[in-house]
Structure formats: C-alpha cells, structure tokens
Chains A and B, each alone.
Chain A
Amino acid sequence: MGQFAQLLLVAAVFLSFALLGTASLSGCVGLLAMQGYCLSLLPIFIHRGGLEPRAFLLAAGMAALKGWLVPRVLTHAIREVKIRREVEPLVGYVPSLIIGVVIVGLSVVLAARLPVSGEARSGLLVPVSLATMMMGLFMTVSRLKALTQVIGYLVFENGIYLFGLLVSRDMPWLLEMGVLLDVFVAVFIMGIVIHHISREFDSIHTDRLTQLKE
C-alpha cells in the first residue's frame, strides 16, 4: 500500500474523531463529505501496480455519492428542520473522543488477530475499517437527534465500504454492489428521516403561521 493511501486512511480516522467531537450539524455534514472524498480516492491508490479504468470509475462514483449527493441531501434536511446543533448527546464530546481512542486501539488489536491474507495483513486498511465502523455505530447510539444518528450510520457504512476495498481487485462487482446499496440506503434512509422530521415539525410551523396571520 502506498504512502498516499496510508495518509488517506489516517485522514479518514481523524475525520471520524472530528465527527465525534463536533456539535454543529452543518460541521458534521462537512466532515462527512470530506471523509467521503478521502475514501473515494482510495480505490485508485490502494493496490500496487497499474492504474485500472475500473478503479477510476469506482472512485468517481463514490466521490459523487459520498462526497456530493449524500451531504447535499443532509444539508437540505438540516435546512428543512432548522436544527443547528446536537443539544445534549447521551455521552459528552470529550468522553466520546476518549472512547474513540479506545475503539481505535481495540480495532488495531482485533485486526492483528483477524485471519486475513497477504497484503491486507500488513496494511492499515483492516484496523481503519473496523475503527470507522465502530465509531459510526457508537455515534448512532450515543446521539439523540435523528440527523446525527443518520450521520453515524453513514460513517458505519463507510467502514463497511473500506472492508470491501480489500477485495476490490479480485471481486470488483462486490464493491459495485456496495455502491448500489449505498444509493439505495441514501435515498431510502434520507427519505424516511426527512419525512418523519418534517412531519413532526410541521405542526409547529403551521402554528407559527397562524399566529402570524392574526
């Protein structure tokens, strides 16, 4: 694995840390978009040897989806529901950062014991993907707002995508299916979330509107 791929992986973990410690929702979405771009560049750099057109296509698809579409939908949702920040997470920001460090340590230990073959054993890919998954799950369970929970879920999903990268050379269709699943999840989850939230907040809006009329 090249230097640049390693740097991208470290950046991805650091962005997960930043997500754990950020209160503002639009900040979270920006960080998620950055993580998406980082991860979308990975298929190009992750394997030694020639550059494949297929890897470029995969990267372009991931960048469009994880870096552009999903954050856009989330930003739209934030504008719709008018929530600016996570008010009181179940676990505070500093404790969640510390838990993040523990998670990274745990995933390094776990990755060393996991029976994976060859190239994957030495690289950072497995520990980083495990850490990203666990941090995403932790974010999902420790936050109260639906939007931050969705962001946590998307981070978790990023971790799964990283794990899939292990086999992107041998079984490219597996990863492509993953991209398709992403699209599905993006549309499905966002649709439900935005629908639910706006339905919950609609009454308040109409209340204000009637007050304005009077």
Chain B
Amino acid sequence: MTALFENLAALLIVPPLMPGIITKTKAAFGGRKGPPVLQPYYDLVKLMGKGAVYSRTTTRMFRLGPTLSLAAVVLAGLLVPLVRASALAFPGDAILFAYLLGLSRFATVAAALDAGSSFEGMGASREVAFSSFAEPSLMLAVAALARATGGFSLSGMFGGAIASSFGAGLVLIVGSLFFVLLAENSRIPVDDPATHLELTMIHEVMVLDHGGPDLAFILYGSSMKLLLWSSLLVRLLLPFVPGAEGWAVWSLGIAAVAVAIGVVESSMARLRLIRVPQFLVAAICAAAFAVMLTLK
C-alpha cells in the first residue's frame, strides 16, 4: 500500500521539475542564468488562479479536452513503475498504458479541432501523423522486453529485471525509447517547445486557444507524460532499491534524463517536418531489431 502512495506522490509532485531542469540545462549551454528550476510550479499556480475565456464557436469538447487528457495521463501513470513497482500492475498493462496515452492525445486533438482555427487543425493533423509512427516502436520495444524478461506487466518488464546478457538489445531499446520520448513529448528534433511560429509548431499550436486552469492542466499533463517516459527509461537501466535510497536513485535518474534532453535540445536543430517520419522509422527499426535479437 505504501508503494502505491509513494508512487502517487512522485507522480503528482515531481512532474513540473523536469521542464524546469531542461530549461536550466539549455540556459547553461547558452551561457545564461535561466529561470529558477521551480518556475513551472509558479506558472501552474498563477494559471490556476486565473479565469478562462471560451470562444462562442467552441462546444463542450473544448472544455472537456484538458481535463480528460490530464485524467488519462494520471491513470497511465499509475501503471508505470516509478519509485516503486506499480501497485496496480497486471499482465498486459503495457497495452492499456499505450491506449491511455492515445486517449489523452485524442482529447487534446479533439479540443484543438473544436476551436475551429486552421493553425490548430494543422497541429492536430501533425500530432496524430507523428504519433502513428511513434507507437509501433513502443509496442515493439515492449514485445522485446516481454520476451527477454518473461514479464507481461510494465513493472515486470522494466525495473532492472532484464538480464545482462541482453546487452546489445538493451542499447537498441534504450535508443528507440529515447527517440520516442523526444517525439511523444514534442522535444527538439521533432518539435520545438520554445518556438513562437505557428506554422512549424506541433504540440504548442494545438493548445493556443486554451487559457487559465485549462492551460495549467495541459502543461501539468504534458510534464507528467514526460516524467512517465523518463521513468520508463530510468527503470530500464536502474533496478528498484528499497527504502529512502530508492527515492535518491530514481530522482537522480530522472534528473539525468532531463539533463540529457536539455543537452540534445541545445546541440541539435529541429528536423524539417518531412524528415521527422524518417527519424521515427529509425526508432521503429531499432526496436524491431531488438525483437529479432530476443527471438534468436
């Protein structure tokens, strides 16, 4: 039972730290001081205190979008091994995890289409197109891990149960999942979260019409999604540790992933849109190759 509460605490409290660390890393690379690491928390508090303005052309879907999206991500978070193995794990929860993330994306996309703006429609179409390239690599990576560890729940597959004899395959899966992490969370080689040009944005352009608590929900949900993916990566490499050390190991791992994302963002430019599917197909190739290695 304590495992459930510890995971829940990590899931609800830690997420805004990750964008904070990423921004700080990017600022350090740019020779700037950058906003404080806790800035995303202040932003969330500020947004929660505001009112929301709704256009008369929008329907109920537009208001439902952010809430549904956040709820789906929280539910997905309960299945992911965070500080401890998930208390709600069951065989096959990896598929529910993928579909909950899909539901969350659907809610955002539907709300974006509901706003009736052409820019948001464009963002929605891109988001859906790219995620259809990102999902196969998650499923293939999960298949490879299931085969290698013999576990069918996320907590069984991740969580350091993986045999060390799986070295080459592990490298492939980590690489593939990191690619997908960057794509799913609209980080730089795929999408630039700091851009202010609607024509090139993907995720940011979909949420342009949301404000106040709705925007807070969206920001919170997207940072939580980032945390979930990072936690999967961390759990692939680091085993569960009981007690307070478990928290230390997990937080250090998460911080390391955030710094890695920051380094990637500082050292790379955004890919041209037509190159993005190629980048994601490369991730699929890596995951497919990992599956073949386990089948041997």
Residues of A participating in the B interface, judged by any CB pair closer than 8 Å: 3, 6-7, 9-10, 13-14, 17-18, 21, 93-94, 97-98, 100-101, 104-105, 108, 112, 124, 127
Contacts and interface: CB of A to CB of B under 8 A. Distances in A.
Contacts, number: 54
A136 B284 CA distance: 20
B281 A98 contact: yes
B285 interface: yes
B168 A9 contact: yes
B292 A105 contact: yes
Interface string B246-288: 0000000000000000000000000000000110011011101
Nearest to A18: B282
Interface of B: 167-169, 171-172, 277-278, 281-282, 284-286, 288-289, 292-293, 295-296
A94 B282 CA distance: 9
A21 B284 CA distance: 13
B278 A101 contact: no
Nearest to B295: A108
B273 to A, nearest CB: 13
Contacts of B288: 101, 104-105
Contacts of A105: 288, 292
Given A13-B289, A124-B293, A97 B281 contact: yes
A98 B289 CA distance: 11
B292 A7 contact: no
Contacts of B169: 10
A-B pairs with the 8 shortest C-beta distances? A10-B168, A6-B168, A3-B167, A97-B281, A101-B288, A108-B292, A7-B168, A17-B285
Contact of A94 (B171, B172, B278): B278
Contacts of B292: 104-105, 108, 127
Contacts of B281: 21, 94, 97-98
Nearest to B291: A105
